[in-house]
Every structure is written in C-alpha cells, then in structure tokens.
Amino acid sequence: MELEPFVFRRSGRLLGVRGAPDGEDAALMEAVNRYALRPLGREEFAVFTLDLCHNQVDRHFSRFPEEELERINDMTPGRPLLERHDLRGSLPRGMFFRSSLHHGEERVSVRPDVYVMRTVENGDFITNIEGGVYRETSIGFSFRLPECGICGKDLRTCEHIPGRSYGDKTCHFIMRDVMEVIEGSVVSSGSQGTGFVPGARSAPLEARAALTAAREQFHQPIELCSPGLWAEE
C-alpha cells in the first residue's frame, strides 16, 4: 500500500544581507537574471542569505539526513520566498536564485540566496529584514517517509512517539525521500525559533494528535495522510 507524502515546514533563520562587493557584481547579476524576464539592474533588487534548514533534530523531533539536504539544495533555486507560508492569500516576495551547503562542526545547513525586488509594495518587507525585525525563516516541502529514529520503520506504523525517551534514546524521526521544495518563507520570530529542541522535552500535544490520526488512517482503506499533517503554522 503506497502512502501519501507528507507536506512539512521546518524552521531556519535569516543569516544576513548579501552585499555586492567589487568583482562579484557580474556573477551576481548573471545568477539573478537567469530567472528574470528582462535584464535587471543591480539597484532594482535586494539580496539576502537564508539558513533554510539543517541536519539537527528540531523542535518537532525531526531531522534531515545530509543526503536529503543535498537534494533540497539542488531543488531550492527557482522556488519563491513567501510570508508565513501564505500559499493562497498573497503572491511571492522574492525568488531563490542560488544555494549552497554550509558545513559547520556538526551542523550542515542549506543556505540559499534570494532576491527581492525593490518595489513600493516590498519596501516595508525589505526594511524589516534589514532592520532585524523579520528574522526567522521556514521551508515548505513534501517528503514520503518519516523514518523512526528508534526502530527504523515508518513512524506511522510503529509504536514510538517523537520526544519520548526509550532507554537512553529520545525518539525523533528522519525525513527521507524529499519530493519537492515548495517554497521558503519569512515568519515571525515567536513561532519558529532556530529549529533546535532539547531532547528531554516531551512531544507537543499537536504532534501526538497528528501521529495518532496518521496511525489510525494507516489501518483503514482510505487516504492515509492529509497534505497538512505535521505542517507547522
């Protein structure tokens, strides 16, 4: 029985504003103008770098393996930047035009660059990013397999609960078979955080309820997982 993919959002953070040092303008303009319908001038847009997702266990007790980050890194250019994952109520604010993997001591991150047109409508949006008011980012994507970090099975079919301790291990799930990067978003700092969660915390009630519902659906001959399951608002 084939399961429906999860649609998920995972938090990251805004790293900083990308400048255009002497000697880099040509490469920057070439990368941006691959997505523009007419040649843009450098004064027409602002560029930012986002820490979009990484390989550490996050606040929902999930994580990416590094090979999935490589897939996400390849799929991110050409995807839109939104506000608050608003797929219905507004049009994109910017466009991801290139991306790279950043390797720290333990943390590997997907860090794309995004350009935002300097229009009247985007003025406050750009100002709030540059002023540090809009800090947090989040990625919207779909994936097929939530692999249990305890037993290695599909999390929807095993008995383990993310956030609970089993012996000396705290359960989390590994997001495998990423299918699509849908968008990246700028979100409020109070709702997303940086994605790191102490392992001793218990799973949020919303997460437990979603897992229970998914397991109940798994044993019925109907749709197994709604598109919004495990999505973070």
Asked whether residue 205 is domain-assigned, the answer is: no
Q: Taking the alpha carbons of 128, 131, 132, 136 in that order, is the dihedral positive or negative?
A: positive
Is 38 a domain residue?
yes
> pLDDT, tens digit, for every residue of 7-45?
555 556 655 555 544 556 889 999 999 999 999 999 999
- In this predicted model, what pLDDT tens digit does every residue of 102-135 receive, in sequence order? 898 888 999 899 999 999 999 999 998 888 888 8
> Does residue 91 lie within any of the structural domains?
yes
Count other Cβ atoms within 10 Å, centred on residue 209: 11
**53 falls within a domain:** yes
Domain membership flag for residue 124: yes
Range of the domain at 117: 6-143+180-196
Please give the structure tokens belonging to residue 88.
């219905």
- Do the domain assignments include residue 80? yes
8 Å CB contact between 83 and 188: no
Phi, psi of 6 (to 5 degrees): -80, 145
Please tell me the total count of domains within the chain: 1
Residue 83 included in any domain: yes
Is 20 part of any domain?
yes
- Give the three-state DSSP class for 99: strand
d(CA 123, CA 137): 19
